Each structure stands twice: as C-alpha cells, then as structure tokens.
C-alpha cells in the first residue's frame, strides 16, 4: 500500500452554529491545535500525500489557519450547502488528478485514528471500490445503520428509513470513507438529490457502487475515534479523551504522572523518560522536557526547553523562549521568559528573569527582577558564571554582571559589574533615634480623629 498515492478530502465548510461562536467550528482547538489540524495529521499518518480542504464559512480565516498547520494543502470553496457529496465535488480538480485512493473525512472529528484510515485504504488495495468506516456507539439511536450482506456493505440506511430489524443493528456510519480514485468521480457524479432536502448525499455512493457490481465493504473504528464535535460540551469531551490518551502514552513511555487526570498536555509536548510531573501542571505548545526532570505542582510551561535533571516549580511559569540547561533550578513563584538558565544555575523564588542569560552555577536571590522593558523596547541582561545576586535586587538592562560578581541585597544595578566585583546600588541607611515612636503616635492620633469624625457624621 505504501506505493499507492492518496488524496485526503477534508470537509470543513460547516458553520457550526451550535458552537455559538464567530470562529469557524473546525478551528476550535483540542490540545492547543485546531480540530481540523488533528484530522490532517491523522490523514498524513495514514499515508495521504496530499490534502484538499473544502471550506465555506470563514473561508479567509480558514486559509490563514491552514497556512500554518497544512501549508501544502489546497483549499476549495463550497459556495452552496447542498450536501456532503456536493461538498466533496467542490474538490473535483484535486480528485481528477488520478490518485489511487481518496479519503473523505470531516474536519470536526479530531480523534480519528490513523490506523482506522489505513485499514480502509488497505481494503481498497485489496480490490474494494469503497470502504466505509463504521463504529458501534453505546446507543445507536440517531445514526445511520450499515447494512451488510455476505460480508459486503449494500446500503447505509438513515434511522428514519430503517425497518424495526434494521434499527437493532449496532454498526453505524461514522461518515468517513475511502474511495478508489479510478471510481471516485463517476460515483460522485451519479449521486442525485431526489430526497426531502434536495441534497446530494455522499452515503448514496454505497448503493450506486453496489448496483454497478463494485465491491463495497465496511471497516470499524472505535466510538471515540469517530466522535464528531457539534457544540462546546462535545469539544470538552473530545479534549478529555485526547488528554487521557496522551497521559497514558506518556506513562507507558516512562514518565511519572502523580495525578494524571490533573496534567494538561499540548499536541506537541515532548517529555522524556524518568521525568516526574506533580499534580496540576499545564504544558502549552512548544514544550520539550528531557529525561530526569522534575516538574512540581501548579507549574505553567509554554514554548520552553527543560534539559535533563532540571527542577521546576512549584508554581513556576516558563514562558516562550525559556531555555533551562542541565540541572538548572527555577523555583516557586518564578517567571522566566526568553532567557537561558545555564547548567546548575538557581532561580529559587519570587523572581522574574526576562531577556537574559544566567550563567552556570549562578544564584539568583528571592525578589530579583531583570528590568528588561522601557515601555518601547526590550533589553538584555547578562549574568556571568558563579555570580550571586542578592535578594530584592533590580538589574536594569542593558547590563552585565561578570563571572563571580556579587550584588548586595536590595540593590538597583544600572551599570555593568566586572568579574568578581561586589556592587551596591542602594541608599546608605540612616537611623533616627525615637522617630519611630513619634510616627506611631502621629498616625494613631490621625486615625482616632478620622474615626471620631466618621461617628459624628452618623
């Protein structure tokens, strides 16, 4: 089958009115990726070399989104909503190029398993003209039934047209199918619209192909894989299923998830074996965690690289561009953005490091911030190897702290500090005997007068 060419036609023109959203339905996200992009990935994993996206509502927005997740895909506009067969024929130009296999898929089925698609394609390689993907829902009510005879699929019957015996069939139509390229256009063109809605139904090609003596078969996907999304409740259901799958996969690959149900992964999260993830950790897009790291509870990580044996959190935030090298530590209530924390460096607590480099073995005291933004531009802070930054220090960029530099606590540093130098950037302390008592008495008197005045007003 690897020698066979394959086109995936993905129907993504629906308005999705039940989503109650201005955003096209198929652009709503699962694990940080538009649901239609999940469908594209599944098609590609099943061997589809080319993708045709049939779009309608929000066409310009769809094209912009597709340029990111499927830059090579062709887009075709379905101007009128005249049924699923009509939608597929919007991609006539692509279908006519003569692919061996044509996969017809829906952009709102983000959990479709690539293996189910590959199985349908394999049936085409074995001689079938059409392979319909079916599934067995817990309750088949409302679904079209797959009618089989002697191992062949002879019809897809909508429930309202089913006999009592047919209604008992639990094998239902998932909507997706594989069609032999050499038959695709003539089968689609043969679909009529003599029905109550006057629409052209893709499912009709089953009976058309059977009437022509072509081989039509059904394959089976899991209920979860065939799940379609029509509203935000179903979107949340699909998200939960995707997350459950990904957590299971992570644990089987050697990652410890202490409370798996509380950890959120993105579609592209990479996490190495022997990493320990504590409860309530969120991995946004673009995260790579190497082996042996420990991610403590309530940490939020996005667009970041975490090297082997790093220690992150609890309550840490790694923003895009954070790059933690081997054995680095970013502790509780710290934020790192667009910065390299080199090997063994420690950013322990209550600290912001942005647009910076923290050298190997450096120690950043509590309450330290890099002042990297002046309201218009960002500036860089370079902290050398083995430097020690005292608590509650402000490093005003652009500034360099040399290797082994020592910054006294409470300093505001506006000038670069040479290697091994000690820098103070604070006013000299002044102590006035008795002044504290005087201030307390003055403040107490003012507070009493205010309280008395408030009582008089009442």
Give catalytic residue positions. 349
Closest CA to 153 of 105, 89, 209: 209
* In contact, 98 and 4? CB cutoff 8 Å: no
Beta strand pairing status for 276-277 and 294-295?
A: parallel
What phi, psi does 167 have (nearest 5°)?
-65, -20
Collapsing DSSP to helix, strand or coil, 455 comes out as helix
Specify burial of residue 64 (Cβ count, 10 A radius: 0-12, 13-18, 19+): exposed
Tell me the torsion sign for CA atoms 30, 31, 32, 36. negative
* In contact, 145 and 71? CB cutoff 8 Å: no
Question: C-alpha distances in angstroms, 399 versus 80, 248, 322, 381, 383?
Answer: 61, 46, 19, 5, 9
Instruction: Report residue 105 as tokens.
Output: 């898929």
Helix (H) / strand (E) element for 74: namely: strand 74-77
Beta bridge partners of 417: 401
CA angle 191, 196, 197 (to 5 degrees): 70
DSSP string, 25-62: GGGSEETTEEHHHHHHHHHHHTT--EEEEEEBTBHHHH
Specify burial of residue 299 (Cβ count, 10 A radius: 0-12, 13-18, 19+): buried
Closest CA to 35 of 224, 229, 199: 229
Give the CB-side neighbour count of residue 452, counting CA atoms within 13 A: 6
Collapsing DSSP to helix, strand or coil, 430 comes out as coil
Closest CA to 418 of 428, 403, 407, 432: 403
Q: Angle of helix 35-45 relative to helix 59-69, nearest 10 degrees?
A: 50
Residues 6+ apart with CB under 8 A from 338: 319, 320, 321, 322, 354, 355, 356, 378
DSSP string, 230-286: -SHHHHHHHHHHHHHHHHHHHHHTT-EESSGGG-B--TT-EE-TT-EE-SS-EE-SS
CA 109 to chain centre: 15
């Amino acid at each position: 089958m690897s020698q066979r060419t394959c086109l995936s036609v993905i129907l993504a023109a629906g308005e999705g009115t039940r989503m109650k959203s201005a955003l096209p339905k198929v652009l709503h996200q699962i694990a940080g990726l538009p649901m239609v992009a999940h469908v594209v990935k599944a098609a590609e994993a099943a061997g589809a070399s080319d993708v045709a996206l049939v779009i309608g509502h929000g066409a310009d927005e769809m094209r912009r989104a597709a340029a990111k997740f499927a830059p090579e895909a062709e887009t075709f506009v379905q101007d009128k909503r005249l049924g699923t067969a009509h939608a597929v024929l919007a991609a006539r130009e692509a279908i006519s190029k003569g692919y061996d296999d044509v996969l017809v898929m829906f952009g709102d089925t983000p959990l479709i398993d690539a293996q189910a698609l590959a199985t349908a394609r394999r049936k085409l390689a074995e001689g079938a003209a059409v392979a319909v993907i079916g599934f067995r829902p817990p309750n088949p009510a409302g679904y079209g039934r797959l009618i089989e005879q002697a191992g062949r699929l002879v019809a897809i019957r909508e429930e309202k047209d089913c006999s009592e015996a047919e209604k008992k069939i639990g094998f239902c139509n998932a909507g997706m199918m594989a069609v032999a390229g050499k038959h695709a256009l003539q089968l689609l063109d043969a679909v009529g619209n003599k029905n109550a809605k006057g629409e052209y139904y893709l499912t009709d090609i089953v009976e058309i192909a059977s009437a022509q003596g072509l081989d039509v078969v059904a394959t089976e996907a899991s209920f979860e894989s065939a799940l379609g999304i029509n509203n935000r409740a179903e979107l949340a259901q699909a998200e939960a299923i995707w997350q459950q799958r990904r957590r299971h996969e992570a644990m089987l690959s050697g990652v410890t998830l202490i409370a798996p149900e509380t950890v959120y992964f993105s579609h592209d999260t990479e996490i190495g074996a022997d990493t320990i993830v504590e409860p309530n950790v969120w991995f946004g897009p673009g995260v790579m965690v190497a082996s042996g790291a420990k991610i403590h509870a309530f940490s939020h990580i996005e667009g970041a690289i975490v090297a082997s044996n790093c220690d992150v959190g609890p309550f840490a935030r790694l923003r895009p561009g954070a790059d933690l090298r081997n054995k680095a530590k970013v502790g509780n209530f710290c934020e790192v953005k667009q910065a390299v924390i080199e090997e063994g460096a420690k950013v322990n607590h209550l600290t912001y490091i942005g647009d910076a480099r923290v050298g190997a073995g450096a120690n950043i005291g509590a309450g330290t911030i890099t002042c990297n933004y002046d309201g218009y531009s960002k500036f860089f802070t370079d902290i050398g190897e083995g430097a020690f930054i005292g608590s509650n220090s402000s490093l005003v960029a652009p500034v360099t702290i040399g290797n082994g530099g020592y910054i006294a606590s409470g300093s505001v540093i506006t000038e670069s500090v040479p290697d091994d130098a000690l820098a103070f950037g604070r006013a000299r302390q002044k102590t006035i005997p008795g002044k504290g008592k005087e201030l307390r008495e003055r403040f107490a008197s003012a507070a009493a007068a205010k309280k008395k005045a408030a009582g008089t007003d009442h």
